[in-house]
Structure 1
Amino acid sequence: MIPRRIVPSRFGDTRGWFTESYNKRALTALGIDCDFVQDNHSFSAASGTLRGIHFQAPPHAQAKLVRCVAGAIWDIAVDLRAGSPTYGRWVAAELTAAGGEQLFIPVGFGHGFVTLTQNAEVAYKTSDYYAPESEAGIAWNDPDLAIPWPLGGAKPFLSEKDDTLLRLAEWESPFTYDGHPLVEFN
């Protein structure tokens, strides 16, 4: 599987709108067949808050379905699958509460985001439970990844953990390439 940008339909009227934020049949029709077991929700008060690049290693690797429920974020997925021709490459999408966009991040990809607004909230489903013994990450500012975080030259707000993660070259991937190279979003 590869990351997918998804925009669920919204049905609006004078009251506002309604959407199905998760529909297993619709995702399966897109080639996304995951059993999600946990919902997570984060709040970031400041614009420029950066979280990531995170993942869980096997046997507790996680696929994620990410959406922004307040404000806006710039969300990324980094290919961490050993043997992949797109290893170390990434894709990104702006996710907004106003637009309802989502990003599916399969097992084998690191995930990170930076908030583009104050008071941003992110909700995401995971395909395995949180397992602290399996959590890991890659440095957000690894020059080998060359991710152009939209920070306008400012230093991001980081956790202590995110400020000390390894570079991609210092790490050995436990993920296996599944034959599907990373492709850009439309």
Structure 2
Amino acid sequence: MSMKFLRRGVLLAMVVPALLTAGCAAGGTGQAMKGAASPASPTGTETGMTESPMPGETGTATPTETGKGSPRSVVEKFYQALASGNGEQAAKMFTSDGVAAVQGQETAEGTQALTELFKGQQGGGGTPSIEESETMGKSAFVFASSGQGAEATRGFFLLMKDNDSWKIDRYMSNSAS
């Protein structure tokens, strides 16, 4: 098994139980993804969480940087591309084998399928509120929400370090209600 798939599996094994626990703790009201069960402050800044390192790595995970080229900025650029109706640019934010699962749409895998999916989302996106962002070696995750009322959505992003830049590898989005 390649190290890439091993890292993805470990990251999912760390994140999915936390999501389930947070969802149960929020009583099924959707508050977990809105930040009620996350350690992020109301303004969306991190609080200094640490996690165990990925296998074979030393040190601890650190909150994702907020500078240019950080996982957080990649997600913000993704939302900007969606808001401007630029599906091609949104798809370029992904790894070549990236996957997106958007509520009400078929799961898209690979650059061509992602481009088609995001072209169909013209005008979507908006300004995101980053609820939580965490870097773990060459992997990161970001929880974000955008829109308000009936138009509110929430997104979960898994990102991978590709050379010196971050790319979205997995994305899941659904309505907040």
Q: Give the TM-score category using the shorter length.
A: under 0.3
Greater strand percent: which structure? 1
Q: Could you say which structure has the greater relative contact order, defined with CA pairs below 8 angstroms and 6 or more residues apart?
A: 1
